[in-house]
Chain A
């Protein structure tokens, strides 16, 4: 018990309050309650993406589409300029009388490189938006949090939220029917 009291004394190290819920329904419900209460630095955790959670959490449209579009454009123009430079500018070669600037024949390579760069943009753009890889996350200090990739449903309000007050957050989670509430430390 002594370590726990020590932790509570050291207020500055607390990063937020984590609450566990029984099922996806309770989690979507608590997400809308948290949004209604005005919190912005909060998150919910589940072993799979829950249908309707974006609305409950009031999530904005993902920026990923824009990133992918830029990467795709880069692949398209990059493939075209590469072939133009190689076949027309740097070393024009007469191959059975075909024109050096032979756009129809270049379409497959342009297409493939557009897809390739878009795919890299999608995956690495998603990593960037999600801040992955993350080397350390205070939530991993919570033993119970391991369930979030198995069958646990968690809601978390960060202490850096301007409205954050320990008691009020606890009360909110209790009203929402949390089965377990815990403070998270750095």
Chain B
């Protein structure tokens, strides 16, 4: 007979914090004078944003001929970037909704942050389908609103489903984010000393008081939104993958696409959250809330989803061989050995090999190494979309129509420019909104639980917590 000793998990918030110190830690970032470095970062981001606006302007003026598209390759960087940015957004929803439903309290430290990333990533993504249509001035034809042809959109097309999926995703993410922000905006309203901030935060806080009658409906709303966002996020990348899977192009027409796209989306999204989190927690001194334990947990998710993606790559090959379809077989052999082999092997090494390092606890907990891998993963995921989009189109059924795709300077500038939009929005967020869900953090610190108070004196009694080696059951 062996006896198991219960070893509690390490505390989610490190350091000696109470309610007031958490409020101060987060709101001070928004209320103190703007740091100089912020302005420098903002200038750099704005310069990139100008690059984006300039390239879009030239695109509208000149037409999509400025991109490197050619006859078989009608979808190029615009679609790659769209899928890449939407995928990045998925981590935010996974953290805020799915981990919430699974009662993973550690998500609280990063959910606000990740949701903001989702919204800005989806903004960057939405640009591409809008501008790649050529005649951008009639883009409203994709919506079911009356137009001069008296025609309606084609509801049988995955491209139209995409319009609904991504628009819904953007709006629901925005609502979810705002609902989460309301109590924290009220905190900022009450903490602000100058008139402008008081009024601005006051308007968006809508008169929130922290009433427990309100919290009661609020928590219900939060749970329902999480329940809605969970199937939504799975549907969005599923529908994005339908753009490919429902066509007849070899290498695209596969049923594995929906789960494989969703896993890849979460994989790249977590990497992006880590990249941003590691920088900002350092700059803003939030290591007490975004701890190394968080990094480790996120690295485990990267390991899991990265392995799923790796499995999908191998399964694709197997099914191509097993199906007996010669075009399907040819395209996969061509991907690994043909003109785009360099992209294929970049993808394989970044996505399949690099996350495997996280089997080692030491590497999972190493901040520098995690930062490096998080960037490698996002490069790899961009190449995954490149391989899927370009290699299949460039070498389809008719060898006489094969052609090699190379991007032009405008492809590159538009893509680089979206980082300008992303970081401009992100810097504004860091400056003006609480980057950590203050109210939710107060819920998970030991002081937040009424059970951690003495029956008689009603004084706080700190519960026993582990200091190292969490979740290990020792045999006695």
Question: Residues of A at under 8 Å CB distance from B?
Answer: 22-29, 31, 43-54, 57, 59, 62, 64-65, 68, 82-83, 86-87, 90-91, 93, 95, 98, 102, 105-106, 108-109, 111-113, 115-116, 118-120, 122-123, 125-127, 129-130, 132-137, 139, 145-151, 177
Main secondary structure of the interface of B (DSSP, over half): helix
Q: List 8 A-B contacts (CB under 8 A).
A: A23-B447, A47-B187, A49-B439, A51-B451, A54-B212, A62-B216, A111-B235, A115-B235
Once the chains bind, are B228 and A119 in contact (CB under 8 Å)? Answer: yes
B155 touches A118 (CB 8 A): no
Q: How far is the CA of A59 from the CA of B215 in the complex (A)?
A: 11
Given contacts A116-B168, A150-B20, 19 further A-B contacts (CB under 8 A): A25-B450, A31-B212, A43-B211, A49-B443, A68-B224, A108-B235, A113-B164, A113-B168, A115-B232, A122-B175, A123-B175, A123-B225, A126-B220, A132-B206, A148-B209, A149-B187, A149-B208, A150-B23, A151-B18
Residues in B whose Cβ lies below 8 Å from that of A120: 171, 175
Which residue of the partner chain, among B150, B156, B215, B228, contacts A95 with CB atoms under 8 Å? B156
Residue of A nearest to B218 (CB): A126
B449 within 8 A of A: yes
Among A48, A87, A135, A151, point to the contact of B155 (Cβ < 8 A): A87
B179–A126 touching, CB < 8 Å: yes
- Which residues of B, 162-176, contact A by the 8 Å Cβ criterion? 164-165, 168, 171-172, 175-176
Q: A25-B458, A51-B450, A59-B213 are in contact. Are A119 and B171 (CB under 8 A)?
A: yes
Docked CA distance A57–B216 (Å): 11
Provide the residues of chain B in CB contact with A116, threshold 8 Å.
Answer: 168, 171-172
A44 and B213 alpha carbons, distance in the complex (Å): 8
A133 to B176, CA, bound (A): 17
| Minimum distance in angstroms from B26 CB to a CB of chain A | 11
Note all chain B residues with C-beta closer than 8 A to A148: 190, 209-210
Which A residues are CB-close (under 8 A) to B183?
47-48, 149
Query: Number of contacts between A and B (CB, 8 Å)?
Result: 212
Residues of A within 8 A of B369 (CB): none
- Pairwise interchain contact B207-A135, C-beta atoms closer than 8 A: yes
| CB-based closest 9 A-B pairs | A134-B207, A25-B453, A151-B19, A133-B206, A86-B152, A126-B221, A49-B215, A108-B161, A146-B190
Given known A-B contacts A52-B450, A115-B168, A150-B20, A43 and B212 have beta carbons under 8 A apart: yes
CB distance from B42 to the nearest CB of A (A): 29
Among B23, B213, B447, the most chain A Cβ lie within 10 Å of the Cβ of B213
User: Is B216's CB under 8 angstroms from A23's CB?
Assistant: no
Specify the chain B residue showing the minimal Cβ separation from A102.
B156
Contact of B450 among A24, A111, A125, A150 (CB under 8 A): A24
Q: Which residues of B contact A51 (CB under 8 A)?
A: 443, 448-451
In the complex, A45 Cα to B224 Cα: how many Å?
Answer: 23
Nearest CB of chain A from residue B404's CB, rounded to whole Å = 31
Given contacts A116-B172, A132-B206, contact A123 B216 (CB under 8 A): no
Chain A residues with Cβ under 8 A from B453's Cβ?
23-26
User: In the docked arrangement, what's the CA distance between A50 and B216, Å?
Assistant: 9
B220 engages A108 (CB within 8 Å): no
Chain B nearest CB, measured from A72 CB (Å): 9
A83 engages B155 (CB within 8 Å): yes
Taking CB atoms, residues of chain A closer than 8 Å to B206 are: 127, 132-134
B178 at the interface (CB under 8 A from A): yes
In the complex, B314 has a CB within 8 A of chain A: no
Q: Is A48 in contact with B216, judged by CB distance below 8 angstroms? A: no
B209-A115 in contact (CB<8A): no
- Answer whether A137 and B207 are a contact pair too, CB < 8 Å, given A86-B152, A93-B154: yes
Q: Are A108 and B164 in contact (CB under 8 A)?
A: yes
- A1 and B217 alpha carbons, distance in the complex (Å): 40
Q: How far in angstroms is the closest Cβ of chain B from A114? A: 9
In the complex the two chains form, what is the Cα distance from A93 to B460 in whole Å?
Answer: 70
CA of A113 to CA of B23 in the docked complex: distance in angstroms?
A: 38
